[in-house]
Amino acid sequence: MRLVATWGQLRTMRGQAPPLGRQAVRVLVLLIGAGLIARVVVAFATYGVTYDIDSYVAVDGALGDDPLQLYSIVNGDPYNRWPYPSGFLPVIVLMHGFQSVFGGPFHGWVQLPQILADGAIAWLVQSFLGRHGASDRTRLVAAGLVMLGPAFALISGFHGQLDSFAILPAVAAVYVWDLLPPGPRRAVVCGLLIGVGVAIKTSPGLMLFALLPTARDNRERLTLAAVAGAVPLIGLAPWLLADPNGTLEALRSHRALPGIGGLSVIVQPELSQLWLGRDLVSLSPLTDWLQERQTLIAALGVAPFAALAYARRMAPAQAATLLWLAFYAFGIAFAFQYAVWGLPFALMAGYLRPVAAVQAALVLPAILVYWKPIDGPVEWLYVPLMIALWIGIVFALVRLTRGAARAPAHVVSPATT
C-alpha cells in the first residue's frame, strides 16, 4: 500500500476548500505578494538582530570548514550560536550558494526561507478556513493577519529568526490531517511534516498532541509519534556519530531568555532592563530556580490541557490553540518570535480577532526592545504591557478550557469568527 498520497489525492479524499471568488483571488495574491516584497526589501536593506544574523554567519563558516564538528565549533564560551537540531543547516548551505551566484548580502538571503514560509502559512490558513465553511472575507482577513501582521513580518523580515520556517511543516500537518482518511498513510505524512519541523526547531513537536486526540486508534498514534521522532534523529545522526559530546551539549544548552515576557517578567520585572538597553541585571534566586526547570514547568503546565484535548477529541486547530496558550501561560520566558508558533493555529481555529489583538498588543513592546526609541527608563511602560498580555493569554486559556470541558466529546469545528 502506498503511504504517501499525491496532491490530487489529498484534494479529493476529504474535500477541498471551495475556490475563492475572482476578486478575492486578486486580493489574496496582492496580500501575499505585497507582504513578501516588503519583507524581502527590509531583509536585504537591514542587518536584523546582530546576534542571530552573526550566528548564521558563524554556522555558515563552520559548514564550510568542518561541517561535522559544527556544534563544537560554534557553541561554547562565550556564545551558543547553534543550539538547534540540524534541519536548517542544508538551507544555510543553499542560501550561501544563492549569495555566491547572485550576489547581495548573506543576511538577506538567509532570511528568504522564513519570508517565503510566511506566504505559505498565509495560503494554508485561508484554504483551511475555506474548507471549514469560512467566507471569502474571513479567509482574506486571516491571510492578511499573516502577511501584514507585525508579529509575523518582524520575525521573518527583520529579526532573522527561523521560526516561520520551523512552524510551517506543523501548520501543513494540521492542514493535511483532515484531508487524508484516518490510518497509516495519514500518520506517516503528518508525522513526516511534524518531524521536519522538529528537525529545524524543537517547538513544533508540541503539535503532536494536537493531532493525537483525533487519531483513529493507538496504531495511528504510535505511527505518527514514531515517524515524527525518527526524522530529527536521522537528520542529527551524522553529527551525533562524529561529535556526540559537542552535539548533545549544544542541544542541552538551549535555554529561553528571561526578561522579555512570560513568568520571568512577573517574578523579576527589572530583568526587562536587559532587553531595553538599560542595565545589566542578575537573575534572582527564584528566577534562576525557574530558569533551571523551565522545560519541566512548561511540560507540567501544558500536560493537563493536552489531556483535556485528548479526552474531548478536540479538532487539531482548536487543540493546537489550547496547547500554545498553555505554553505561553506557563512559560518562564516569552520572546517575540514565540508568537509565530501559535498564531497560525489560532487563525485556523477561527480566532481572527484575538490574533489581531495579540499582534496589536505586541507592537509597542517590540518597538521598545528592537529599536529603543526612548532615552531613559521605559520599564514602567514595557513591564505593564507584557504583564497585561500574559493576563490576556491566561484569560483566553481559561475561556477556551471551560468551553472545551463543557462541550460533548467530539471533533470541534473551527470558530471561523
Identity of the amino acid at 53: I
Give the pLDDT confidence score for residue 2 in this predicted structure: 36
The count of structural domains within the chain is 2
Of the residues 237, 254, 271, the one at which a domain ends: 254
Give the pLDDT confidence score for residue 254 in this predicted structure: 75
Q: What is the number of other CB atoms lying within 10 angstroms of the CB of residue 248?
A: 14
Of the residues 221, 236, 254, the one at which a domain ends: 254
Which residue is listed with cell 541585571? 281
**Same domain for 267 and 240:** no
Q: Which ranges of 243-315 does DSSP label H, i.e. alpha helix? A: 244-252, 263-267, 285-292, 294-312
- Domain holding 397, by residue range, is 255-417
Give the pLDDT confidence score for residue 126 in this predicted structure: 97
**Same domain for 245 and 111:** yes
Identity of the amino acid at 60: D
d(CA 298, CA 196): 22
- pLDDT string in tens for the chain (417-residue length): 333 334 344 444 455 678 899 999 999 999 999 999 999 999 999 999 999 999 999 999 999 999 999 999 999 878 899 999 999 999 999 999 999 999 999 999 999 999 999 999 999 999 999 999 999 999 999 999 999 999 999 999 999 999 999 999 999 999 999 899 999 999 999 999 999 999 999 999 999 999 999 999 999 999 999 999 999 999 999 999 999 999 999 998 877 788 899 999 999 999 999 899 877 888 999 999 998 999 999 999 999 999 999 999 999 999 999 999 999 999 999 999 999 999 999 999 999 999 999 999 999 999 999 999 988 889 999 999 999 999 999 999 999 999 988 876 654 444 444
Give the pLDDT confidence score for residue 14 in this predicted structure: 52
**Same domain for 139 and 266:** no
**Same domain for 308 and 167:** no
Give the pLDDT confidence score for residue 256 in this predicted structure: 76
Give the pLDDT confidence score for residue 4 in this predicted structure: 38
**Same domain for 243 and 266:** no
d(CA 339, CA 154): 11
**Same domain for 238 and 161:** yes
Give the pLDDT confidence score for residue 76 in this predicted structure: 86
Which residue is listed with cell 554567519? 57
Q: Which three cell numbers stand for residue 376?
A: 531613559
Three-class SS state of 80: strand
Q: Which residues contact 361 (CB under 8 A, 6 or more apart)?
A: 385, 388, 389, 392
Q: At what angle do helices 316-330 and 294-312 cross, to 10 degrees?
A: 150
**Same domain for 237 and 321:** no
**Same domain for 187 and 55:** yes
Q: Which three cell numbers stand for residue 184?
A: 497509516
**Same domain for 400 and 288:** yes
**Same domain for 85 and 25:** yes
**Same domain for 233 and 201:** yes
Of the residues 214, 234, 254, the one at which a domain ends: 254
Q: Which residues contact 79 (CB under 8 A, 6 or more apart)?
A: 51, 55
Give the pLDDT confidence score for residue 253 in this predicted structure: 81
**Same domain for 285 and 226:** no
pTM of the model: 0.93
Q: How far apart are the first and last CA of the chain?
A: 40
Identity of the amino acid at 123: W
d(CA 400, CA 380): 31
